[in-house]
Amino acid sequence: MTPTVKIFSGTESRYFAEKVAAAYGTTLGDLTIQRFSDGEVSVHFNESVRGCEVFLIQSTFPPADNLMELMLLVDAARRASAHKVIVVMPYYGYARQDRKDKPRVSIGAKVMANAIQSVGADRLMTCDLHAGQIQGFFDIPVDHLDGSAIFVPYLRSLNLGQDLIFASPDVGGVVRTRSFAKVFGVEMVVCDKHRKRANEIASMQVIGDVEGMDVVLVDDLVDTAGTITKAAELLKAKGAKSVRAIATHGVLSGPAYERIENSVLEELVISDTIPLKHESSKIKVLTFSDLFARAISNVVTHDSISSLFI
């Protein structure tokens, strides 16, 4: 007998979870999330989840409260005798803290993995991690969805032709950028940057030729937009005909909106894993809800997740 599938959402991801549930062909399950006067969170499922495959959708933005809420939901589902508890985290916070790059620092991505597993999650589903190796921090299955399944059709609709070239805004994003270039059969360049400190770039240079080309910058997330806008400016100065950017997670904090609006970017294309705080004429949002709905369906039916990739 196939277990019943129930999809629930944390507070901040409800806007996305409703679209995922609709694409899957159901509605969100009924739960109550309360906050005491001091901010402490209490969760309660208002319907039985006994023997069900429970999918809990919650990203981390900002991370602390949402992660705690998610862990309480996992614990509640586990204690209510759910058959399986699958965490669906479209945006995995702390992913940039994935290694010890200097002495005496924490590895935040590993702490997140420990927290999710410690409360009894059976599986994690996420998308476009900052570094794919973060999957190795888990001892449970991780379904790492690839946003190119949504971005590639959009880029094809632009008909940029043979003048198209892809650019990585830093050396760390070369593998991600090369995968796009390979799909389109075009070349790629790299913007090599040096940071003074987090969120502050000291210098940047372009490795490769972009003269007369339509450049697409590829990244996993945009936070303060300093890197992406500086890279776009540099590419334009090197003779690029146009520069646009795609990034899965629009964190967009601090001066990000102002920087994007005042930049030379034609557009910034992001997903809806994180909601926009402000509207912008230069920001286009593509929904990942269908991708996650198909992935949930494949998990339930034990079909391949990689079949969803390009």
Tokens read off for 49:
């989840």
pLDDT digits (tens, 9 = 90+) for 30-46: 999 999 999 899 999 99
* Each residue's pLDDT tens digit, 218-236: 999 999 999 999 999 999 9
Indicate the pLDDT class of residue 161, thresholds 50, 70 and 90.
confident
Q: How many CB atoms lie within 10 A of CB 17?
A: 25
Sequence-ordered list of residues with C-beta below 8 angstroms from that of 153, at least 6 positions apart, any chain: none
Strand partners, 269: 246, 284
Residue % of the chain over a pLDDT of 70? 96
| Catalytic-labelled residue, pool 84, 110, 193, 230 | 193
Checking if the pLDDT of 200 tops 70, the result is: no
Rounded Cα distance, 133 and 256, in Å: 28
Handedness of CA 277, 278, 281, 282 (dihedral sign): negative
Q: Considering only CA atoms, which of 228, 220, 227 is closest in space to residue 273?
A: 220
Secondary structure of 49-96 in HEC code, one letter for each residue: CCCCEEEEECCCCCHHHHHHHHHHHHHHHHHCCCCEEEEEECCCCCCC
The pLDDT tens digits of the residues spanning 52-106 come to: 999 999 999 877 789 999 999 999 999 999 999 999 999 999 999 999 988 999 9
* Tokens (6 digits) for 266: 């034609």
Q: What pLDDT, on a 0 to 100 scale, did the predictor assign at position 47?
A: 98
Closest by alpha carbon to 268, among 252, 291, 290? 252
DSSP string for 233-300: HHHHHTT-SEEEEEEEEE---TTHHHHHHTSS-S-EEEESSS--SS--TTEEEE--HHHHHHHHHHHH
Where residue 124 falls among pLDDT bands split at 50, 70, 90? very high
User: Does 84 participate in catalysis according to the annotation?
Assistant: no
Domains and CATH numbers, the chain: 5-146+289-308 (3.40.50.2020), 148-286 (3.40.50.2020)
Cα three-residue angle 186-190-192, rounded to 5 degrees: 180
Q: What is the pLDDT of residue 171?
A: 86
